[in-house]
């Protein structure tokens, strides 16, 4: 790592010009967005993008999102945009929303993993937006984490795993949303959610009248099964410790089940909603936030998942939330963190 730009305690965004120069020269920059931190490089430079895959240990068949700062950048990289797609972009950009569009040949194959589509997002985070506009390039950026680990939502969580692999780190404090963007592809005129996020199915339906949720959001993939989004295939967000996710609409049943499971282990760790912490007496508990404030849970969940291995538990029992609104995205990440080890009662 060569350069550290602290924008957590300063609002001097002119410093971003140096980071933009690093992007233009083909370097790697760790930068904040409103969702999670990104590991960014010039999205039109094949060699620079190669280094992203190397730094993350990411499989080359998992494509990257290109980040833009304004609509002018869009037409350079994609074509044949439909009215529904425009409507969605106009409504949800800048913001935590990624749309899969037909790419132009200028987008290198390495970015799209040889697909003829490319994911595009216009972040609302001011640091991200300025970094992109100063560099004058679409920035390819996956979430900042080693592949398989929870996405980084603050610099201290990811410093050890990434600092010596990048040319520049921009610290913008904790990210606002805490979960990655909603990924949507419009198929036969209907927006289909490939990865749930802060922009919910209800939000999308309100804008264009209909929405579908891809079935692979929760299901475990069969061997060789085809998916619309390659990222669905990979292990994600998982602590090293064994994890189980438990949910019930009936809170008494939920608490009873979690207490029951924990009895069979020597050193269980429970990730509990704030309201239930008192119901797991004498047990090791991490408070993930109020079940009435899903924004709070979303914001902290990756940091919480990163903490669990330090306790060396023989089981991590995670309380689920209702799969509604943002709860859909939280549960999508938790089901995967638990490798589909999920009990619903
Ligand atoms: O919030 C976010 O989206 C963050 C920040 C940094 O912008 N980025 C992010 O990127 O989460 P990444 O690479 O960790 O996840 C991108 C997801 C992957 O699951 C990938 O498979 C999918 O988007 N994806 C990218 N391009 C695609 C395409 N052309 N077709 C289908 N899925 C695509
Ligand atoms: Mg990721």
- Pocket test of ligand 1: the residue of 230, 234, 326 to mutate, having most ligand atoms within 8 Å of its CB, is 230
Ligand 1 atom index nearest CA of 62: 21
The CA 151 to ligand 2 mean position distance, Å, reads 6
The residue whose C-alpha atom lies closest to atom 21 belonging to ligand 1 is 231
3-state SS, one letter per residue, for 260-302 = HHHHCCCCEEEEEEHHHHHHCCCCEEEEEECCCCHHHHHHHHH
Q: What is the pLDDT of residues 239-279, one digit of tens each?
A: 999 999 999 999 999 999 999 999 999 999 999 999 999 99
The CA 253 to ligand 2 mean position distance, Å, reads 33
Q: What is the pLDDT of residues 269-296, one digit of tens each?
A: 999 999 999 999 889 999 999 999 999 9
Ligand 1 atom index nearest CA of 179: 1
Q: How many helices (H) and strands (E) does the chain have?
A: 11, 17
The residue whose C-alpha atom lies closest to atom 32 belonging to ligand 1 is 229
Q: Cis peptide before 94, with omega less than 30 degrees from 0?
A: yes
Q: Verify whether ligand 1 is closer than 6 Å to residue 34 (CB atom).
A: no
Q: Verify whether ligand 1 is closer than 6 Å to residue 182 (CB atom).
A: no
Q: Verify whether ligand 1 is closer than 6 Å to residue 135 (CB atom).
A: no
Q: Verify whether ligand 1 is closer than 6 Å to residue 141 (CB atom).
A: yes
Ligand 1 atom index nearest CA of 37: 6
128 by DSSP, 3-state: which?
helix
Q: Verify whether ligand 1 is closer than 6 Å to residue 100 (CB atom).
A: yes
For 279, 321, 331, 343, the CA distances from 294, given in Å and listed in that order, are 20, 8, 11, 20
Question: What pLDDT does residue 1 have?
Answer: 58
Q: How far apart are the first and last CA of the chain?
A: 48
CA 54 to chain CA centroid, nearest Å: 19
pLDDT (tens place) for every residue of the chain, 345 residues total: 589 999 998 889 999 999 999 999 999 999 999 999 999 999 999 999 999 999 999 999 999 999 999 999 999 999 999 999 999 999 999 999 999 999 999 999 999 999 999 999 999 999 999 999 999 999 999 999 999 999 999 999 999 999 999 999 999 999 999 999 999 999 999 999 999 999 999 999 999 999 999 998 988 777 777 778 887 777 778 899 999 999 999 999 999 999 999 999 999 999 999 999 999 988 999 999 999 999 999 999 999 999 999 999 999 999 999 999 999 999 999 999 999 999 999
Report the candidate in 257, 211, 261 with the shortest Cα–Cα distance to residue 88. 211
| CA dist., res. 314 & res. 244, Å (int) | 11
Strands 190-195 and 212-213: parallel
Q: Are residues 130 and 56 in contact, defined by beta-carbon separation less than 8 angstroms?
A: no
Q: Verify whether ligand 1 is closer than 6 Å to residue 230 (CB atom).
A: yes
Q: Are residues 340 and 265 in contact, defined by beta-carbon separation less than 8 angstroms?
A: no
- Ligand of minimum distance to the alpha carbon of 36: 1
Strands 97-103 and 78-79: antiparallel
Q: Are residues 186 and 211 in contact, defined by beta-carbon separation less than 8 angstroms?
A: no
Q: Verify whether ligand 1 is closer than 6 Å to residue 112 (CB atom).
A: yes
Ligand 2 (single-atom ion) residues, CB below 5 Å: 143
The residue whose C-alpha atom lies closest to atom 13 belonging to ligand 1 is 142
Q: Verify whether ligand 1 is closer than 6 Å to residue 143 (CB atom).
A: yes
The CA 183 to ligand 2 mean position distance, Å, reads 12
The CA 297 to ligand 1 mean position distance, Å, reads 22
Q: Are residues 248 and 254 in contact, defined by beta-carbon separation less than 8 angstroms?
A: yes
Alpha helices in the chain (DSSP H): 16-24, 46-56, 71-77, 83-92, 109-112, 126-135, 155-162, 201-208, 251-263, 294-307, 326-337
Q: What is the pLDDT of residues 286-330, one digit of tens each?
A: 999 999 999 999 999 999 999 999 999 999 999 999 999 999 999
Four-CA torsion 80, 69, 43, 112, nearest 10 degrees? -40
- Ligand of minimum distance to the alpha carbon of 100: 1
């Amino acid at each position: 790592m060569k350069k550290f730009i602290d924008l957590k305690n300063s609002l001097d965004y002119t410093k971003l010009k140096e980071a933009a120069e690093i992007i233009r020269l083909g370097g790697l920059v760790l930068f904040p967005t409103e969702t999670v931190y990104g590991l960014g490089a010039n999205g039109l430079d094949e060699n620079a993008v190669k280094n992203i895959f190397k730094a993350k240990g990411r499989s080359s068949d998992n494509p990257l999102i290109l980040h833009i700062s304004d609509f002018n950048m869009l037409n350079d990289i994609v074509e044949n945009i439909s009215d529904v797609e425009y409507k969605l972009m106009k409504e949800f950009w800048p913001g935590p929303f990624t749309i899969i569009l037909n790419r132009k040949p200028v987008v290198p194959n390495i970015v799209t993993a040889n697909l003829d589509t490319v994911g595009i997002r216009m972040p609302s985070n001011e640091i991200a937006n300025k970094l992109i506009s100063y560099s004058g390039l679409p920035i390819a950026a996956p979430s900042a984490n080693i592949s398989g680990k929870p996405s980084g939502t603050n610099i201290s969580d990811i410093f050890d795993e990434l600092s010596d692999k990048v040319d520049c780190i921009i610290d913008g404090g904790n990210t606002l949303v805490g979960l990655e963007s909603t990924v949507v592809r419009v198929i036969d005129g209907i927006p289909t959610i490939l990865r749930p996020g802060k922009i919910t199915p209800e939000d999308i339906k309100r804008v264009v009248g209909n929405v579908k949720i891809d079935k692979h959001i929760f299901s475990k993939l069969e061997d060789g099964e085809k998916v619309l989004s390659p990222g669905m295939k990979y292990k994600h967000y998982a602590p090293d410790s064994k994890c189980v996710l438990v949910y019930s609409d009936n809170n008494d049943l939920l608490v009873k089940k979690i207490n029951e499971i924990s009895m069979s282990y020597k050193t269980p760790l429970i990730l509990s909603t704030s309201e239930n912490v008192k119901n797991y007496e004498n047990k090791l508990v991490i408070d993930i936030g109020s079940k009435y404030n899903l924004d709070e849970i979303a914001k902290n969940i990756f940091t919480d998942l990163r903490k669990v291995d330090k306790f060396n538990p023989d089981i991590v029992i995670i309380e689920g939330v209702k799969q509604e609104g943002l709860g859909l995205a939280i549960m999508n990440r938790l089901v995967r963190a638990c490798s589909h080890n999920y009990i619903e009662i």
